[in-house]
């Protein structure tokens, strides 16, 4: 069941829905590939970004949402305040509102990414290990990187690493 503070990232083309939506308040933030491409360099060094936006959604069918980000009451209140400010900005459509919304979303992405790195539990730990690998690859993309080093960074055997990497990214 969906609970207060649950955060889900769904990629384009992924069908989703919610049951038992009585009293459900949902904030739906949508972004395009062009936006993510523009801000990716600023976010790519963050393991939490990779965990939340790529690794967890990629492994979701295997861990069945066990690694989703769940905000505590204090974090949820802060995120809701930011979301409400963005909703008001969008509704008022004052001069510069588009820039304010982009900045607000970037701040939200950073905050949620930071919070993901504090997520407890074995499923989240697996996601974070792979996210650290993704951050490492982003930082060292010009270097010779070997599977053995990446698997050690992930805390997995080479065979396990390759299997999980393919499940997450759909590529060998």
Number of C-beta neighbours around residue 139 at 10 A:
11
- Candidates 131, 133, 138, 168; CA nearest to 153 is 133
Comparing 102 with 20, which gets the higher pLDDT?
102
pTM value is: 0.87
For the segment 105-144, what is each residue's pLDDT rounded down to a tens digit?
Answer: 999 999 999 999 998 888 899 899 999 999 999 889 899 9
pLDDT at 171 over 80: no
Residue 44 near residue 135 (C-beta atoms within 8 A): yes
pLDDT at 172: 63
Count of alpha carbons within 13 angstroms of residue 54, beta-carbon side = 23
**Is 81 in a helix, a strand, or coil?**
helix
For a pLDDT cut of 70, what percent of the chain falls above it? Answer: 99
Query: HSE-up of 25 (CA within 13 Å, CB side)?
Result: 6
């Amino acid at each position: 069941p969906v609970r207060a503070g649950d955060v889900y990232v769904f990629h384009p083309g992924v069908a989703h829905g919610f049951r038992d939506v009585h009293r459900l308040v949902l904030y739906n933030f949508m972004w395009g590939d062009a936006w993510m491409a523009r801000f990716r360099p600023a976010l790519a060094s963050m393991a939490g970004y990779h965990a939340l936006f790529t690794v967890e959604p990629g492994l979701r069918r295997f861990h069945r949402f066990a690694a989703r980000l769940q905000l505590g009451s204090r974090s949820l209140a802060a995120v809701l305040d930011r979301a409400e400010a963005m909703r008001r900005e969008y509704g008022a459509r004052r001069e510069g509102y588009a820039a304010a919304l982009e900045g607000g979303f970037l701040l939200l992405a950073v905050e949620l990414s930071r919070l993901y790195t504090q997520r407890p539990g074995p499923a989240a730990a697996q996601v974070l290990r792979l996210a650290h690998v993704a951050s490492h690859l982003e930082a060292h993309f010009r270097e010779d990187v070997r599977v053995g080093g990446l698997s050690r960074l992930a805390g997995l055997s080479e065979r396990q690493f390759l299997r999980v990497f393919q499940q997450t990214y759909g590529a060998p």
